[in-house]
Amino acid sequence: MATSHSLSSSVVVLMVPYLAQSHLDQSLQLSHVVSSCDIPVHYVSSTFHISQVTSRALNSRHQSTKIHFHGFEIPALHSQTRTTDPESKTKNAQEQIRRAEASTHLREPVTALLRSLSAKARRLVVVYDVLMSSVVQDVVSLPNAECYSFYRVSVFLGLDLSRKINIPIEDIPSMESCFPAFMRDFIASQQKFSVSDLESGSIHNSCRAIEGSSIELLANDQNKLNRKIWAVWPLHQTTTDSKELRDQDKCLLEWLDEQEPKSVLYISFGSLTTLSDEQIKEIALGLEQSGVKFIWVLRDGDKLDDLVNGKAGRSSSQVPDGFEERMRGMGMVVRTWVPQVKILEHPSTGGFMSHCGWNSCMESIAMGVPIATWPMQSDQPFNALLITRVLRVGVAVMEWEQRDELVTSSMINGAVRKIMASEEGDEIRKRVVEIAEAVKRSVEDGGDCRLEWDSFIAHITR
């Protein structure tokens, strides 16, 4: 990242994220880095999504005041009846539909803001999530605008995997198995609204320390089209983590302080996953059988109607009777949002059982924590493949072809023991620590991440 100094205030950046927690988080972190270079940043979303992302962000309130937030009201889609995609095996297909439909209602207010900002700036830089192409489609009418697509998924996912990696094609997940039909149609519809004529390049939520070979392949492809790419992660290490911790978060970290190094398994399945009671019981039994200490974040997946009504993050899920009492001192079940990076970077954390959301994968790798992969949907099966078969920094709790089956306590116990207490787990930990050290070097002066940021900031302020 370029050191903070006064740059031309006539360059203005508009950030347009998709309406999902991980997309919102990454766009906010990207906004903090850009604004730290004295470049005005405007961040747009629905009113309640802005409230959600700022309340959960690790950055301080003072930092957030440098960013201009624009919250727009959207129709109460949560009050309308929606039919779940019949092809989907995931537990939140209806929520995917709601978010996709809700995002399309932002086009009109975003267009008005685009025109207002364009009239006051020498250059308007629009950084938009690829799932928000229809929302920013009117930018083509502005004479002083240029666009940069922001990809928050792995670069690995976008490659032609059958040709680029040494993995049998039958082991590569199909798009049909990962994305419900509605989301495949929605993604295809967004591609029709390409603003490629104005696009100067793409920003990727990745880094060369983790995805170096994939990034090089993509860069070679994009160079042929005269487009630049920037791999700008880790964003969380280029911004100041200074938000005051809540009391329950302090209790978590104090409990970790009392544990042996690398002895605690952290378990979280992201902001959208809701587990069945039967599956929760199997996880509890597997953890108890393993004898491994743990922090288990057990939340219901976020729902739009809960966000609107201020009830997001509440959990109705219950562990088996007596489980928490039996596990007292061995583990903690948490039912609220937690500071994930703080937990992963703690010396006592030795493993992460994860849904393999891309943010979670990279945060875990950056902290040198091996992953027990349990993909649920979307890009997660590809990320799990990258973790276990390419980088070899994790083990599988379940394989993707088992996605419709109950994951049993014995499967969970086996994966936990393998990653936390086996020679194979020790070798995996050595590999992930080596990558973590390379990630840390990347944010130092002259490191890959810093150079990427210097290049991007220099480009948009040229």
- Residue 4 counted as domain residue: no
| Cα(187)–Cα(180) distance, integer angstroms | 11
> Quick one: how far is CA 14 from the chain centroid?
20
Sheet harboring 228-231: ordered strands across? 67-72, 41-46, 11-16, 123-129, 145-151, 199-204, 228-231
**pLDDT, position 312:** 53
Reference 54, options 35, 73, 41, 67; nearest CA is: 67
Beta bridge partners of 13: 41, 125
- Residue 336 counted as domain residue: yes
27 and 149 part of one domain: yes
147 and 258 part of one domain: no
pTM for the predicted model, two decimal places = 0.88
| CB half-sphere exposure, 319, CA atoms < 13 A | 21
Reference 27, options 46, 11, 44; nearest CA is: 44
Q: What is the CATH number of the domain that holds 428?
A: 3.40.50.2000
Angle (CA) 57 60 66, round 5°: 100
295 and 329 part of one domain: yes
Beta bridge partners of 41: 13, 67
- Residue 5 counted as domain residue: no
Which residues are catalytic, by number? 23, 129
**pLDDT, position 243:** 55
369 and 336 part of one domain: yes
Reference 57, options 298, 302, 309, 241; nearest CA is: 241
- Residue 2 counted as domain residue: no
pLDDT tens digit sequence for 46-82: 998 898 888 766 554 445 567 999 999 887 554 444 4
176 and 321 part of one domain: no
- CB count, 10 Å around CB of 298? 19
Q: What distances in angstroms separate CA 434 from CA 420, 428, 448, one per listed residue?
A: 18, 10, 16
| Residue 348, domain extent | 247-439
Q: What is the 8-class DSSP label of residue 3?
A: P
- Residue 1 counted as domain residue: no
Amino acid occupying residue 106: L
Q: Extract long-range pairs of 404-409: CB within 8 Å, 24+ residues apart.
A: 404/89, 406/278, 406/279, 406/282, 407/279, 407/282, 407/283, 407/374, 408/282, 408/286, 409/282, 409/283, 409/284, 409/285, 409/286, 409/289
100 and 71 part of one domain: yes
Helices (H) and strands (E) in the chain, counts: 20, 13
**pLDDT, position 63:** 52
**pLDDT, position 248:** 79
Two tokens, residue 314: 């509440």
187 and 263 part of one domain: no
Residues of the chain with pLDDT under 50: 1-8, 60-62, 78-90, 238-242
- Residue 316 counted as domain residue: yes
- CB count, 10 Å around CB of 160? 9
Stretch (H or E) spanning 373: strand 371-373
Strand pairing category for 67-72 and 41-46? parallel
- DSSP assignment string, 93-133: HHHHHHHHHHHHTTHHHHHHHHHHHHHH-SEEEEEEEGGGT
| Cα(124)–Cα(117) distance, integer angstroms | 7
The count of domains in the chain is: 2
- Residue 23 counted as domain residue: yes
230 and 260 part of one domain: no
230 and 264 part of one domain: no
449 and 423 part of one domain: no
449 and 430 part of one domain: no
Stretch (H or E) spanning 234: none
Tokens 């419900």 -> residue:
180
**pLDDT, position 434:** 97
- Residue 164 counted as domain residue: yes
| Cα(60)–Cα(240) distance, integer angstroms | 8
> Quick one: how far is CA 27 from the chain centroid?
10
283 and 421 part of one domain: yes
